[in-house]
Chain A
Amino acid sequence: MRSTSRPALREPSYFVLAALLGGPLHGYAVIKRVTELSDERVTLAAGSLYSVIDRLLGEGLITADGEEIVNGRARRYYRLSDEGYRVLAEEADRLARAARVVMDRLPHRSFPQGSTHQPSIVRIRPA
């Protein structure tokens, strides 16, 4: 099923990459965007965010994209690299195919009572 031998992205890494799809963001904006994209399921604390950023930078999936000085402090922006786009697209495709396996076989599209919306099909392994 996998097109490459690359293990699945961890959930925080996936959403950080997804947050940067819209263009370069600084740390605080990444946290807000990740919270929004994940329906508040993934709320990164600053220490966790930078652990993820360090890993993604190390693997070349994101790159630093300039700095500006705000309130006397350096604010660094990050953007997706070409490799980051490729890995994120591949992961999204893998998740979609994995979700389709289940969705196509569900007898009725009924969801638990009290559920306000359909469960996300983007369920990936926890961090």
Chain B
Amino acid sequence: MSSDVLEKRYRMLLRAYPAGYRRERADELIDTLIGDEPTTRRWPSIRQAASLIRGALQVHGGSTAARPTAVLLWQGIHLGAMAVLALGALIGLDDLVEAFQFGGLSDPLAVLRNQGIHAVMVSAALVALVAGRTRTAAVLVVAAAVVPTVISPYLLSNSLPQWWAPVVATPLIMVGLRRPADVPPAPRANAVLVTAGILALHLIPAEGFRMVGMSSQIVAATMVIAGAGAFLWVATADQRLLIAVAPTLLLGTLYQLGNAGPTGELLHRPDALPSLVVAVLMAVGAVVSTRMRQRTRA
């Protein structure tokens, strides 16, 4: 009886694998997990659960694909475009709400003109990309970079990160249009999950480091270490995340460059140049190591 319960719970964990892989391997994995010996265990061990989740992440990242490097690159670029647009939309909506909270209601049309149109167009491009309408997304993302700026130069003149979002996403989406036929697109649910994970990374309150209070700094340090650790645990298994996160870190760097220029501030802000450099190095490392593994996969 306990083995039936255990099997059921293992099957729940196996849902982390892509459907195709699960169809092929679920029974075999369960057979290996349960083993030959009678067990009274009712719950999977943490070690087995972590191993299954990492295994599933690796398969999502293209480890079983015929061309793992191609999957890593093309899907990473696609996920990067999605994450940049999602971050741009999130920042845009946050600023929009803030503008209404602090006096915007006296001239709502100005707020909508300055920020609303841009937020709507970036969100529309994101929806098109999530829906798999890449060509529509390409048109919308170019429009999101140009049209709101023609209507109001507010976002551009302040070099706000949400203005940069469609600018950064455009080349990624354009490149994504040339994805080879043998590289499948990232499954929608998986892409949404990856995007949410990258957004969560950006929501870590790293600004606490700059506060005077020691307790704020300790909380910030704990959150950053835990968040970065969790992200790296996932991203070293599904290395598409290492590629996808890099363009999102470009937004903070471009914002800093636009406002303060190439000053020391650019080097000290955790969401600006230092993170971008680390992210780019990790992305390059991921591609190189996958390429080497592809040559000698074992």
Contacts and interface: CB of A to CB of B under 8 A. Distances in A.
Main SS of the interface on chain B? helix
Interface in B23-63: 25, 27-36, 47-48, 50-56, 58-59, 63
A49 B51 CA distance: 9
Interface stretch (A34-42, A50-58, A95-103, A111-119): A50-58
A47 B25 CA distance: 11
A70 B32 CA distance: 11
Interface in A64-110: 70-71, 73-76, 87
A24 interface: no
B296 A45 contact: no
A46 interface: yes
Interface string B6-22: 00000000000000000
Contact of B28 (A47, A58, A75, A87): A75
Main SS of the interface on chain A? helix
B298 interface: yes
Given A26-B31, A28-B32, A7 B51 contact: no
Given A47-B51, A51-B55, A54-B64, A61 B298 contact: yes
Contacts of A52: 298
A59 B295 CA distance: 9
B292 A73 contact: no
A19 interface: no
Interface residues of B, number: 29
B297 A26 contact: no
Contacts of B64: 54, 58
A46 B28 CA distance: 10
A51 B32 contact: no
Nearest to B68: A58
Contacts of B56: 47
B298 A47 contact: no
A28 B27 CA distance: 12
Nearest to A31: B32
Contacts of B47: 45
A6 interface: yes
B27 A74 contact: yes
Contacts of B33: 46
Interface in B64-106: 64
Contacts of B296: 6-7, 59
Interface core residue of A46, A51, A74 (most chain B CB under 10 Å): A46
B52 to A, nearest CB: 4
B127 to A, nearest CB: 34
Given A45-B47, A46-B51, A59 B297 contact: yes
26 contacts: A7-B292, A10-B298, A26-B32, A27-B29, A45-B52, A46-B32, A46-B51, A46-B55, A47-B52, A47-B54, A48-B51, A48-B54, A50-B25, A50-B55, A51-B55, A52-B298, A54-B59, A55-B63, A55-B293, A56-B298, A59-B296, A59-B297, A70-B31, A71-B34, A73-B31, A75-B31
Enumerate the 7 nearest inter-chain pairs by beta-carbon distance, A residue then B residue, closest first. Answer: A47-B55, A45-B51, A47-B51, A27-B32, A59-B297, A47-B52, A73-B27
Given A17-B298, A45-B52, A73-B28, 13 more contacts: A26-B28, A46-B33, A46-B51, A50-B32, A54-B63, A55-B298, A58-B297, A59-B297, A61-B298, A71-B31, A71-B34, A73-B27, A87-B298
